Amino acid sequence: MALDILISHFPATSIGRYLFLDDAVAVKTFFILSGFYISLILSEKYNTPGGYRVYLTNRFLRLLPAFWVVLLLTIIGSGVSGIFFDNWGRLLPYLDYWDKMTWEASGYLIISNIFLVGQDLIRFMFLDLANGTLGLTPDYMGHTPIMATFMFVPQAWSLGIELVFYAVAPLFVSRDQRVLVILLVAILGGRYWFTSMWQLPQEPWKYGFFPFELSMFILGILAYQVYLKIRDRHIPKSFFWGLYLFVVFVTLIWDFLPGITIKTNSYYGLFSLALPFLFAGRQDGWLQRKLGDLSYPIYVSHILVRDVLLVLCQSSLLVPYVGILSAIATMIFSIALHHFIVMPIETYRQQRALSIRNNLRYAALGK
């Protein structure tokens, strides 16, 4: 999924723009996976007194350090690019409009860019140049400046949505399956009515509005509840690999299938139904684990790498190969980011999660 999003953000002339999935479908599939995984860890790792606080801070520790590295390098890279190439990159909107914003508007942008919280809402805002304030709009693309350009790590809007889900996940994970199904149907129905009634633009309503995206997380929660019923059963290797290869095959041919609405919703259904069986019968292979570890570093860093190479290669014979070079460079950078930033903090995160369970065990022994 991360590689698919990576390819979708490359120059069209450089890599052929062959997509497995539409980038919106890939992001929403991530939300389904996130719903499943958060259900898993809340139920099996943080289901203790004080667990919510450790869980929530651990989720911030999972996202923020690598994000901060990319954010810092983006700002530095934009500054260097501006000085030497007269291309200020992600700094340009701030240079053009900083003096036109109130301190509340600039403060919101600074805080959301640093801590991710509220970054998803930027795509529902516009800058009122008459008074320098931020306002809400159903069509942010119809305003100048486009507020999404103020995001130093533009793909991080989805991380803002993830953080909202992390905060409210305990309210849904413990719910009865029937309640979740009713809620899912209500959200999907409300989404259809709302977007049809108001003729809203694809961006950002196609994906990016948390109340609508909650349906994807609920699909993941429902998938986890199915997993609970089958996890102790033996999943034949032939069934596991057959299902795995079928999901991969559908992913590979998705872009060539007709009927955008039918194929998109069918893919969500297929992935949600397959997920509990794939997790129950998973093979803990080294390669699978390493690729999984790199998914977040790839996602958070790929636009930075692409932008750097676009500046460096803008007047050379390498322009047609920027996409390929970006893919290779992103993988190398992601490996370094994972090794030097993510892994040391991951050790600390796991120690914190283990400590709350140990404290509970000691308290039980004391009684």
What tokens were used for 227?
A: 């997993």
- Residue 344, classified by CB atoms within 10 Å of its CB into exposed (0-12), middle (13-18) or buried (19+), is exposed
In-domain check, residue 38: yes
In-domain check, residue 358: no
In-domain check, residue 359: no
Q: How many helices (H) and strands (E) does the chain have?
A: 15, 2
Nearest by Cα to 91 from 80, 78, 101, 108 = 78
**pLDDT tens digits, one per residue of 57-102:** 999 999 999 999 999 999 999 999 999 999 999 999 999 999 999 9
In-domain check, residue 11: yes
**pLDDT tens digits, one per residue of 185-232:** 999 999 988 888 888 887 888 889 999 999 999 999 999 999 999 999
SS (H, E, C) 93-144: HHHHHHHHCCHHHHHHHHHHHHHCCCHHHHHHEEEECCCCEEEECCCHHHCC
Share of the chain above pLDDT 70, in %: 90
- pTM for the whole thing? 0.91
Domain ranges, residue 333: 2-348
Nearest by Cα to 112 from 100, 129, 124, 99 = 124
In-domain check, residue 361: no
Domain count of the fold of the chain: 1
In-domain check, residue 194: yes
> What angle, 0 to 180 degrees and rounded to 10, lies between the N-to-C axes of helices 260-280 and 237-253?
150
CB-based contacts of 283, cutoff 8 Å, min separation 6: 240
